[in-house]
Amino acid sequence: MDEARLRALMLKGLAGDGAAHRMFLAEASSALRGYFRNRLRDAPDDAEDLVQETIIALHTRRGTYDSSYPVTAWFYAIARHRLIDHIRRRKRRGQSVPIEDAEDAALVQPVQEASDARRDVAALLDRLPEKQRTAIRLIKLEQKSVKEAAVITGWSESDLKVSTHRGLKSLAKLFRDEAPA
Amino acid sequence: MKTDDLIDLLSSDLEPEKPAGAKPWALAVGLGLLGAVVLMMVTLGPRPDLIPALPLMLAKMAISALLAAAALPLVMRLARPGRPLGLGAMIGAGLLVLGAVAAVIALTDLYFRVQTGAPIPKCLVFVPLYALPAAGLLTWIVRNMAPTRLMLAGAAIGAAAGGLGAVAYSVYCPIDRLHPVLAWYVLSIAICAGVGALVGPRALRW
């Protein structure tokens, strides 16, 4: 895991460089996939769900990264937190819980081949409140600019930005709370 | 949705991240303190001999504010994922020892009060009550960041909010000897921290 390169991508992303942020999330997801598959050896289907859940968290909470610390420490702390939350949810549903036999996060190999997630973000998007869903659809999926989206919907630009931001947070919550298929 | 598509969705039309800075924390402390004072006014009210007792009241407020100020940097650190606590861990341990010592002193004081029929300090109940507005606001801020140690974060929020509650309580506090006041205040704030630790894992879940 190249801390220096990831850190540079993260900082560029924080400054608004979409391509750098995309690369950061892509590399993080490979690392996370290896990490979660390693810890959920008896439940590999859940690993991709956790990758997606953590990627959403890394994006919506990217403001919590403090550049005086390593970025890998930051995202592994979030990944571990999501894993513990996942295990607690499984326990509450009376499902099996993975055995505590895991390698050090730094030693696990990244995995680029994604499997299918069990939860479908597309379906969850449909469950968002209309304003949030529309904002995300126009700006994030259809790649319209905020200006264009404002003209289409008649809402203000700041209103759209707030709705997008809230929508992603709602998505994170739906993803977390929804039991897998 | 495939993970790759999700990444596309998240990174499209990216806005630069504006750091929130100290403003939300300052607001939480300011409004939390205001809330504490309002609660104090509508429940116990200021002590009737406030003007002659002013220096004593200010001393109690200073002690309480200091304790809140010690806890607040811990809250801010624990709002972000995984950073080592460092000096904060030592401060936390120090506060713990302080709390234990205070408990012993307070209990001996309680014993003597019961024996002599002196009034039982109300701070154990009212400081946590007055801490609620600050605790609520701090919880809201921290939950919107990315805490990964929820029990510790809850305890730190409890301690900081408890300190602010004690500042407000000082306007009422009728006890005039500083040494039992210190013990009772520290114990009350420790109770707030304890409640915060218990409630943290639920209240701070994100």
B69 and B163 in contact (C-beta within 8 Å)? yes
Q: Which residues of A touch B80 (CB under 8 A)?
A: 64-66, 74
Q: Are the Cβ atoms of B10 and A61 closer than 8 angstroms? A: no
Q: Considering CB atoms only, which of B3, B15, B81 is closest to A55?
A: B3
ipTM score for this prediction: 0.86
Residue of A nearest to B150 (CA): A81
Tens of pLDDT, residue by residue over B86-144, are 777 777 788 788 888 888 888 888 888 888 888 788 999 999 999 999 999 999 999 99
To the nearest whole percent, how much of chain A has pLDDT over 90? 43
Give which of B36, B41, B65, B60 is closest to B128, Cα–Cα: B36
Burial class of A24 by CB neighbour count within 10 A (0 to 12, 13 to 18, 19+):
buried
Q: A48 and B83: CB-CB below 8 Å?
A: no
Rounded to whole angstroms, how far apart are CA atoms B9 and A121? Answer: 10
DSSP string, A49-84: HHHHHHHHHHHHTGGG--TTS-HHHHHHHHHHHHHH
| Cβ pair A140:B10 closer than 8 A | yes
Do A56 and B6 count as a contact with CB atoms less than 8 A apart?
yes
Say which of A14, A25, A122 has its CB closest to residue B11: A25
Rounded CA gap, A51 and B41, in Å? 51
CA–CA dist B65, B114 (Å, integer): 30
Across the interface, whether the CB atoms of B2 and A116 are under 8 A apart is answered yes
Q: What is the pLDDT, as a whole number, of residue A105?
A: 67
CA distance A45 to A27: 20
The minimum CA-CA distance between A120 and chain B, rounded to whole Å, is 5
Over range A7-29, report the average pLDDT. 95
From chain A, the residues in CB contact with B13 under 8 A are 18, 139-140, 143, 145-146
Helices (H) and strands (E) in chain B, counts: 7, 0
pLDDT at A20: 95
Mutate to test the interface with B, among A76, A121, A141, A158 (most CBs of B within 10 A): A121
User: A41 vs A55, A106, B98, CA distance in Å?
Assistant: 20, 17, 45
Which DSSP string do the residues of B81-138 spell out, in sequence order? SS---THHHHHHHHHHHHHHHHHHHHHHHHHHHHHHTPPPPSHHHHHHHHHHHHHHHH
Q: Do B14 and A16 touch (CB under 8 A)?
A: yes
Q: Is B91 exposed, middle or buried (0-12, 13-18, 19+ CB in 10 A)?
A: middle
Q: From CA A135, how far away is CA A159, in angstroms rounded? A: 9
pLDDT at B156 over 60: yes
pTM of this structure = 0.88
